[in-house]
Chains A and B, each alone.
Chain A
Amino acid sequence: DTGVSQDPRHKITKRGQNVTFRCDPISEHNRLYWYRQTLGQGPEFLTYFQNEAQLEKSRLLSDRFSAERPKGSFSTLEIQRTEQGDSAMYLCASSLGQPPNEQFFGPGTRLTVL
């Protein structure tokens, strides 16, 4: 257990529905990251926050995806109008933001879109 928690661990939804995932980072970590991972591949960067500010978004993050970190603590990732291609593991990580900026990962949320 790294200290980063994610909820839910698994989500099955029908195409077109909206889903929201939550990440609780290690409490003193100011940086929070979201990644997506498909089978047999390494994680792909989606976005990251420093405190409550969203500082970078990948081009992978279409306008159906939105992430928030309202008080600089927990974060949510929402996917609107889900598509089958959104099926993946969604990973959250947190770090102190100082070199070497080691990131600690949560267990992930497995999304299946039917």
Chain B
Amino acid sequence: KNQVEQSPQSLIILEGKNCTLQCNYTVSPFSNLRWYKQDTGRGPVSLTIMTFSENTKSNGRYTATLDADTKQSSLHITASQLSDSASYICVVSARDSNYQLIWGAGTKLIIKP
């Protein structure tokens, strides 16, 4: 069964600190993996998209990594800011159904001053 699992479920860190969020998936055949940021009460916004051949991609202070062999991804946030407080959702697309995305439940990140 195609699944995406994220950890931790929630995380609280102090402003300025770094953090890493984890994503494990069992989607096959793999097409691409995305990380979305979702502010409370808003729609998700794409941070990165990685295909099978890419093992790292950065977007400002966000760096995503992908290990297609172990089916794991991580999202590293550097020098966190209060505006980083949001849910971060890992999403995987299977090659034979690129219209449908398999969503993780997300990690709720809270940045405290």
Extra contacts, 5 of them, besides A89-B41, A102-B49 (Cβ < 8 A), are A2-B45, A41-B106, A44-B103, A105-B43, A108-B43
B100 on interface, CB distance cutoff 8 Å: yes
- How distant is A12 from chain B, measured CB to nearest CB, in Å? 15
Residues of B within 8 A of A74 (CB): none
Using an 8 Å CB-CB cutoff, how does the interface string of A70-114 with B read, 1 for contact, 0 for none?
Answer: 000000000000000000010101000101111111111010000
Using an 8 Å CB-CB cutoff, how does the interface string of B37-76 with A read, 1 for contact, 0 for none?
Answer: 0000111111001010000000000000000000000000
A43 on interface, CB distance cutoff 8 Å: yes
Interface set of B (CB-CB < 8 Å, partner A)? 4, 31-32, 34, 41-46, 49, 51, 89, 91, 93, 98-101, 103-106, 108
Given A89, A97, A101, A106, which contacts B93 in the complex, CB threshold below 8 Å?
A101
A33 on interface, CB distance cutoff 8 Å: yes
Interface set of A (CB-CB < 8 Å, partner B)? 2, 4, 31, 33, 40-45, 48, 50, 55-56, 89, 91, 93, 97, 99-108, 110
Interchain CA distance A102-B31 in the complex, whole Å: 12
Interchain CA distance A107-B93 in the complex, whole Å: 22
Given A40, A42, A97, which contacts B103 in the complex, CB threshold below 8 Å?
A42
Interchain CA distance A55-B99 in the complex, whole Å: 10
Residues of B within 8 A of A56 (CB): 99-100
- How distant is A110 from chain B, measured CB to nearest CB, in Å? 7
In this complex, what residue of B is CB-closest to A33? B99
Interchain CA distance A102-B45 in the complex, whole Å: 10
Interchain CA distance A93-B89 in the complex, whole Å: 16
A45 & B44 in contact (Cβ 8 Å cutoff): no
Interchain CA distance A103-B43 in the complex, whole Å: 11
B44 & A102 in contact (Cβ 8 Å cutoff): no
